[in-house]
Amino acid sequence: MAGIGLSLPSNSTHRPTFTSSVPPKPSSTRCCLSSVKMTVSVDDKKKTFTLKKSEEAFNAAKELMPGGVNSPVRAFKSVGGQPIVIDSVKGSRMWDIDGNEYIDYVGSWGPAIIGHADDEVLAALAETMKKGTSFGAPCLLENILAKMVISAVPSIEMVRFVNSGTEACMGVLRLARAFTGKTKIIKFEGCYHGHADPYLVKAGSGVATLGLPDSPGVPKSATADTLTSPYNDITTVENLFNTHKGEIAAVILEPVVGNAGFIKPTPEFLNFLKKVTKENDALLIFDEVMTGFRLAYGGAQEYFGITPDLTTLGKIIGGGLPVGAYGGRREIMEMVAPAGPMYQAGTLSGNPLAMTAGIHTLKRLQEPGTYEYLDKVTGQLINGIIDAGKKAGHAISGGHISGMFGFFFTDGPVYNFEDAKKSDTAKFAKFYRAMLEEGVYLAPSQFEAGFTGLKHTQEDIQRTIDAAEKVFKDL
Ligand SMILES: Cc1ncc(COP(=O)(O)O)c(C=O)c1O
């Protein structure tokens, strides 16, 4: 990771630490909740656990928005019951509108790596906001975040900011096709690259969670050039390259899968993809929307030492505001308009608020010890959960890298989505609901990875393991 001249305050109070420091609830929220009832902490929560207000709010939401949500997995369909409706977040915690407190391992699906509602990020946002929320014109903050991304991510020499991971994956596909002059792509079963038409083939995330077939509304022509292979399967990819000689523009993958549950690549698989794309004049695309700045500061490509041709980013680089990005070698990126002919644009792209949150989030991640801390607490968490499950006689397997983890209710090993589907999802649903009552918020799907952040303390981890031990016994 290279510095970019943004120095951190020497007396920063945000260094990762193993001491317990549960952040106080923001006073404004405390005030609102107290008018309803006392906030319920993780400790005394069991006595009064109720989701009455969440249920009322969600029932109302279902009349207003499809399924009551604006993104499918949030609806808790695969774990049963109704979702909790969130009132506020801070550090490693979140509070629902009934006043229940949870240790959060979703982190807004990844962005909250430095903890929710970080004081420095909020202060920086307030300063930026004084100058306006959107310019629709160049601003200095874009240069700062672009430099940070370029100096961090090995494959990126130039970057284009967009507003979501979906947009980043749409842009990068068009770019790969424009650069190579070819149209076919290879994607992997259970990998999710946003909801654009060409990627909705054997997709992960909500599509996997809800067990949906490929989506209606996606014309056959949109997916005609999407070839698929099981993850970690060298032979199938080799065969696809042989069958479609000279036609494949790119191979895109999650370098560690998070959208079919947590699945690691084998080292041979990543090395092979690098080699086969090079030999066939195709581009290797790492979709690092989830893994970027999470597995290491330079993402999965730094962690594994394999440099793709193009990379997509999202989540963490927006620090909780909507941002995505794609980037790569200069010669490829200079095809993007207006430097080149490949068109892609965005009204709010590079807006000052999102750039500010991203800059201050990455700045924090540059502090020494960040990724060591994430790896340590996440290792303790996943090993504790798996040990507790095994001790209670359950088939369970899982793993972690840095602040990303997952487990399946199967003995494993899990190399691909077919293996992941052997997991006992009914058992996961029961486990999930019981953990929620214990004040632990996990991703509401067996097919989603979990995330930790710098504000998770050892006490949080121990409480979670204790809760899991208790729940496993009754499962
Ligand atoms: C690997 C990956 N790519 C793309 C996306 C889509 O990003 P967004 O939800 O911001 O559109 C996601 C979302 O979870 C993702 O995990």
Are residues 90 and 239 both part of a single domain? no
- Using pLDDT thresholds of 50, 70 and 90, give the confidence band for residue 14: very low
Are residues 385 and 360 both part of a single domain? no
Are residues 287 and 391 both part of a single domain? no
* Residue from 315, 363, 421, 455 carrying the catalytic annotation: 315
Q: What is the pLDDT of residue 47?
A: 56
- 253 in Cβ contact with 191 (< 8 Å): yes
Are residues 59 and 145 both part of a single domain? no
Q: Is 163 in the pocket of ligand 1 (CB under 6 A)?
A: no
Q: What is the pLDDT of residue 49?
A: 87
Instruction: Answer whether residue 5 is part of any domain.
Output: no
CA atoms within 13 A on the CB side of 379: 9
Higher pLDDT, 11 or 227: 227
Q: What is the mean pLDDT of residues 444-460?
A: 96
Q: What is the pLDDT of residue 80?
A: 86
Instruction: Answer whether residue 4 is part of any domain.
Output: no
Instruction: Answer whether residue 252 is part of any domain.
Output: yes
Instruction: Answer whether residue 1 is part of any domain.
Output: no
CATH code, domain carrying 168:
3.40.640.10
- 243 in Cβ contact with 186 (< 8 Å): no
Is the confidence at residue 75, as pLDDT, over 60?
yes
Are residues 144 and 283 both part of a single domain? yes
CA of 78 relative to ligand 1 center, distance in Å: 19
Is the confidence at residue 63, as pLDDT, over 50?
yes
DSSP per-residue letters across 231-244: TT-HHHHHHHHHHT
**Domain end position, chosen among 365, 383, 400:** 365
pLDDT tens, residue by residue, 130-189: 999 999 999 999 999 999 999 999 999 999 999 999 999 999 999 999 999 999 999 999
CATH code, domain carrying 70:
3.90.1150.10
228 three-state secondary structure: strand
- Using pLDDT thresholds of 50, 70 and 90, give the confidence band for residue 203: confident
**Domain end position, chosen among 339, 365, 391:** 365
**Domain end position, chosen among 365, 380, 400:** 365
Whether a cis peptide bond, with omega within 30° of 0, leads into 413 is: yes
Are residues 34 and 168 both part of a single domain? no
If 0-12 CB within 10 Å is exposed, 13-18 middle and 19+ buried, where does residue 253 land? Answer: buried
Residue 381: count other Cβ atoms within 10 Å of its Cβ: 25
CA separation, residue 333 to residues 87, 158, 329, 339, 442 (Å)? 41, 6, 6, 8, 38
Are residues 103 and 174 both part of a single domain? no
Instruction: Answer whether residue 19 is part of any domain.
Output: no
Is the confidence at residue 78, as pLDDT, over 90?
no
Are residues 111 and 250 both part of a single domain? no
- 77 in Cβ contact with 8 (< 8 Å): no
Q: What is the pLDDT of residue 10?
A: 33
Instruction: Answer whether residue 462 is part of any domain.
Output: yes
Q: What is the pLDDT of residue 1?
A: 38
pLDDT tens, residue by residue, 361-375: 999 999 999 999 999
* Residue from 96, 98, 287, 460 carrying the catalytic annotation: 287
Report the percentage of the chain scoring pLDDT > 90.
Answer: 84
Q: Is 111 in the pocket of ligand 1 (CB under 6 A)?
A: no
Are residues 332 and 407 both part of a single domain? no
Residue 41: count other Cβ atoms within 10 Å of its Cβ: 15
Q: What is the pLDDT of residue 42?
A: 54
Count how many domains the chain has: 2
Positive or negative, the Cα torsion across 265, 263, 406, 209? positive
Are residues 149 and 68 both part of a single domain? no
- 285 in Cβ contact with 310 (< 8 Å): yes
Separation of alpha carbons 73 and 259, rounded Å: 11
- 289 in Cβ contact with 90 (< 8 Å): no
Are residues 38 and 158 both part of a single domain? no
Residue keyed to tokens 């729940």: 471
Instruction: Answer whether residue 18 is part of any domain.
Output: no
* Residue from 45, 53, 182, 192 carrying the catalytic annotation: 192
| Ligand 1 atom closest to the CA of 165, numbered from 1 | 7
Which of 463, 399, 407, 47 lies closest to 471, judged by CA?
A: 463
Q: Is 72 in the pocket of ligand 1 (CB under 6 A)?
A: no
Separation of alpha carbons 290 and 49, rounded Å: 32
Q: What is the mean pLDDT of residues 97-101?
A: 97
Instruction: Answer whether residue 14 is part of any domain.
Output: no
List the domain range (segments joined by +) for residue 88: 27-117+368-474
Q: What is the mean pLDDT of residues 431-446?
A: 96
Are residues 453 and 315 both part of a single domain? no
Is 473 among the residues known to form the active site?
A: no
